[in-house]
Amino acid sequence: MRAADLHRLARTLREIALTSTGNTGADQVNAGELAVIEDVSRNPGATISDVTRRTGLAQSLVSRITHRMADAGIMQVRPDEKDRRKSRLEIEPSARAMFRTRADGSIASALAAHAPKLSAAQRKELTRHLAEAERLLREGQE
């Protein structure tokens, strides 16, 4: 596989993921926002610096995103108890439940929409291969 093919695949998979989770239309969360939400979801109590380091986003962008999300009721931004200059981040419980519901959904209909020429059997096989690729990549990072 060429690097260019991997980039094209990543774009297509991102589109399928966005459709699967209902992250479309006027309320669509952009890539930076999604990276921050995913990171804080995996690392409750993280600081803005922590999120910046893990996501590779600029600290000013992470700060803007987290404060915008706090204003929208999606994220809690609270001062660190030991160092008041730092902020600790957490996803609001109601938002966490909504994200979990969206994340736990099937990709079947989104896959059908993005690959309409595949048969049901081919989509099932592709889903199996995607799950296996995710598992191998996760194992390779642990």
Which pLDDT does position 142 carry in this prediction? 80
Local structure of 39: helix, strand or coil: helix
Rg (CA), the chain: 17
| Amino acid, res. 109 | S
Strands (DSSP E) found in 2-119? 46-47, 75-79, 87-91
Domain 24-105 fold is Arc Repressor Mutant, subunit A (1.10.10)
Q: Which residue has the higher pLDDT, 83 or 2?
A: 2
Between 53 and 102, name the one with better pLDDT: 53
Position with higher pLDDT, 25 vs 6: 6
What's the pLDDT band for 105 if we cut at 50, 70, 90?
confident
Q: What is the pLDDT of residues 24-66, one digit of tens each?
A: 777 778 888 989 999 999 999 999 999 999 999 999 999 999 9
pTM: 0.72
Instruction: Tell me the domain boundaries of the chain.
Output: 24-105, 106-141
Query: Coil, strand, or helix at residue 111?
Result: helix
Query: What does the alpha-carbon distance between residue 141 and residue 54 come to, in Å, rounded to a whole number?
Result: 14
Pairing of strands 75-79, 87-91: antiparallel
